[in-house]
Amino acid sequence: MEAVNEMKLRTVADLDPSGLRVLLRADLNVPLSSGRVADDTRIRAIVPTVQWLTSRGARVALLSHLGRPDGAVVEELRMGPVAARVAEILQADVSSLPDCAGPDVDRAMDRLPPGHVVVLENVRFYPEEEQDDPGFAEKLSAAFDTFVNDAFATAHRAHASTVGVTRFLPAYAGLLMEREVEVLSGVREHPRRPYYILVGGKKAKDKLGVLTDLLSRVDGFLVGGGVAFTFLAAQGHAVGRSVVDPSLVDTLRALLRQAEATGREIVLPEDVVVAQELRAGAETKVVPAHAIPEGWMGLDIGPATVQRFAAVLAQAGTVVWTGPLGAFEHPPFGAGTSAVAHALVSSSAFSVVGGGETGEAVAKLGISHQLGYVSTGGGATLDFLRGKPMPALEALRAS
């Protein structure tokens, strides 16, 4: 695939949207609690594009997925609460439609005044969405004049609402999509050195591609979270009841040898916080990472590891962070994630935080604005940095 920093995308700057019916693919896959949006970060991220379009007289329909309904209507995953939050943020009347394609959408777009917004129903209520079904893509496109994609978090997927519709409508990148590509291209192609990736999260298999594909491009990895315990097991250490993927032990052992042979650092925890069960208020203790007692599980990095990671971050030029370093959502196992996040803020490195749980963690800590860039993508961010194909970006390529 051609390097994306050399790819010229068609953007909304190339579009006169006055009076046009615009289908705006957004990532409004937000957490809900008691029928309300619990975290509106992703909604706020697309506001500049919405306002750019509406201020120029476009009639905008927001299209997104929400959760994993697996191609069926799930009442708890309807877009009504999302539309309500969009209305609050925009301080405007925003209605939610009962479908994302068909006569209801046609009528709504015909009636919608210029400068106004509607929210379409969850596109993943249709199994044809994830199949990139051409007939469904045509139905999604029927009520519109043009398509704008601002959902970077889905850019690595070839779905009807991200790629299929571009076969029926002129397609442009939104302001958020454009900014994501700009920032991540800089990191991928010309990172300030030393370049480290801070790797956490629950499962080693989820990060294996990052570790193997980026080993030759980075100066090192700092590994925490559940990922670390399969590494420790690969070194022959006792890890108690900690999460380990036995199928990856040989692979990670080989990766450690490769890193040593090529002069790349893989910094593993020196100590960990352990407990016998994952719950708030559980008895905890700090133990050496290489000697976790039988019956205990590692649930956070320990203070010595925090100091070691902080020392590396202090001299880094670029840091990409993907995955919390402990079970941060369960006190007291969020201390390591919090301490390292603040160390990253104090560093002079340019920091990029991958979306998903890592983005949620820094948002809860209230430090998102102090970091270099918080991406809205999770898997998409990592795929981009790894140089993997990004079908939705290819569909926006300028001719």
The span from the CA of 289 to the CA of 268, in Å, is 9
19 counts as catalytic: no
Segment 24-52 shows an average pLDDT of 95
pLDDT for 4: 40
205 counts as catalytic: no
**Could you tell me which of 399, 379, 398 has the C-alpha nearest to residue 155?**
379
Peptide bond into 246 cis (omega under 30): no
39 — pLDDT class (breaks 50, 70, 90): confident
Distance of alpha carbon 64 from the chain centroid: 15
The one catalytic residue among 298, 356, 377, 378: 356
Query: What is residue 137's three-state secondary structure?
Result: helix
The one catalytic residue among 56, 167, 202, 203: 203
Structure tokens at 130: 């994830």
> Does pLDDT of 5 surpass 80?
no
> Does pLDDT of 355 surpass 80?
no
In the chain, which residues fall in CATH 3.40.50.1260? Answer: 4-179, 191-384
378 counts as catalytic: no
Q: Is 191-384 assigned to CATH 3.40.50.1260?
A: yes
**Where is pLDDT greater, at 233 or 2?**
233
Looking at the structure, give the CATH architecture of the domain made up of residues 4-179: 3-Layer(aba) Sandwich (3.40)
CA dihedral 278, 282, 286, 291 (to 10 degrees): -50
pLDDT for 1: 33
Terminal Cα-to-Cα distance of the chain (whole angstroms): 16
The one catalytic residue among 201, 220, 359, 379: 379
What are the pLDDT digits (tens) for 148-167?
999 999 999 999 999 999 99
CA-to-CA separations, 367 to 70, 199, 329, 379, in angstroms, rounded:
34, 19, 16, 22
- Beta carbons within 8 Å of 138's beta carbon, 6+ residues apart: 168
Tell me how many degrees the CA angle 68-328-204 measures, rounded to the nearest 5: 65
Average pLDDT of the chain, as a whole number: 94
> Does pLDDT of 399 surpass 80?
no
Structure tokens at 72: 């069926």
pLDDT for 34: 92
What are the pLDDT digits (tens) for 251-299?
999 999 999 999 999 999 999 999 999 988 889 999 999 999 999 999 9
The one catalytic residue among 10, 21, 25, 42: 42
